[in-house]
Chain A
Amino acid sequence: QKEVEQDPGPLSVPEGAIVSLNCTYSNSAFQYFMWYRQYSRKGPELLMYTYSSGNKEDGRFTAQVDKSSKYISLFIRDSQPSDSATYLCAMSASTFGNEKLTFGTGTRLTIIP
Chain B
Amino acid sequence: DGGITQSPKYLFRKEGQNVTLSCEQNLNHDAMYWYRQDPGQGLRLIYYSQIVNDFQKGDIAEGYSVSREKKESFPLTVTSAQKNPTAFYLCASSIVRGRGTNEKLFFGSGTQLSVL
Contacts and interface: CB of A to CB of B under 8 A. Distances in A.
Interface of A: 4, 6, 8, 32, 34, 36, 41-46, 49, 88, 90, 92, 94-99, 101-106
Contact of B40 (A4, A8, A49): A8
Contact of B107 (A32, A45, A101): A45
A4 B42 contact: yes
Given A88-B43, A103-B43, A106-B42, A97 B100 contact: yes
B42 A99 contact: no
B48 A99 contact: yes
Contact of A103 (B6, B42, B99): B42
A99 B40 contact: no
B103 interface: yes
B63 interface: no
A23 B90 CA distance: 22
Given A88-B42, A103-B43, A98 B108 contact: no
B19 interface: no
Interface string B86-102: 00101010101001111
B58 A97 contact: no
22 contacts: A36-B105, A41-B109, A41-B110, A42-B109, A43-B6, A43-B90, A43-B109, A44-B43, A45-B107, A92-B102, A97-B31, A97-B99, A98-B33, A98-B94, A98-B102, A99-B33, A99-B45, A99-B56, A101-B105, A103-B42, A105-B40, A105-B41
Most interface-central of B31, B33, B41, B88 (chain A CB within 10 A): B41
Most interface-central of B41, B92, B99, B105 (chain A CB within 10 A): B105
B102 A101 contact: yes
Nearest to B91: A43
B21 to A, nearest CB: 13
B14 interface: no
B58 A99 contact: yes
Given A43-B90, A46-B104, A99-B45, 12 more contacts: A8-B40, A42-B110, A43-B4, A45-B107, A94-B100, A98-B48, A98-B92, A99-B56, A101-B105, A102-B42, A105-B40, A106-B42
